[in-house]
Amino acid sequence: MSSYKVAVPSNNPGGMEASRSDHFGHSDLFTLLEIEGDTIIGVSTHENVAHDSGGCMVPVRALAEAGVKKMIVGGMGATPLAICSEIGMTVYYAPKNEYGLVRDVATAFEAGELSVMNDDQACGGGSKCHH
């Protein structure tokens, strides 16, 4: 059985006991969960990269290059959500007010309790974010 990685936007220092970042684009780093079957077999961190030239595409591509196939967010803009879809990365939505720690969201993911993020759940920019 092959494994894959799931990224969770996190606050420093990352890891299972870290608090989740409110939003994909503003996270300090990403906690990466290595999953085999439906079980977490490893945890690591991956620094968030600057959005400078290339915008939201930069961190999404950096995660893809790190082997990330899925992401769990509490908030994400429509552009990075579309980029994830284009490259085949599945994004799951887990409101931070329900899942405050990386461990909380990891447990929910393992149990199959999270749903794929819909376009209408994406942030519209400015004050249109719902998280």
pLDDT on residue 12: 95
For the chain, list the domains and their CATH numbers. 3-121 (3.30.420.130)
pLDDT on residue 59: 87
* Contact assessment for residue 16 and residue 80, using Cβ atoms and an 8 Å cutoff: no
What does the alpha-carbon distance between residue 83 and residue 120 come to, in Å, rounded to a whole number?
15
Cα 7 to the chain's mean position, in Å?
A: 4
What does the alpha-carbon distance between residue 16 and residue 90 come to, in Å, rounded to a whole number?
21
pLDDT on residue 130: 47
pLDDT greater at residue 130 or residue 79 = 79
Q: Could you read off the pLDDT of 5-49 as tens digits, one per residue? A: 999 999 999 999 999 998 787 789 999 999 998 899 999 999 987
What proportion of the chain, given as a percentage, has pLDDT over 70?
88
Collapsing DSSP to helix, strand or coil, 60 comes out as: helix
pTM for this model (two decimals)? 0.89
pLDDT on residue 110: 93
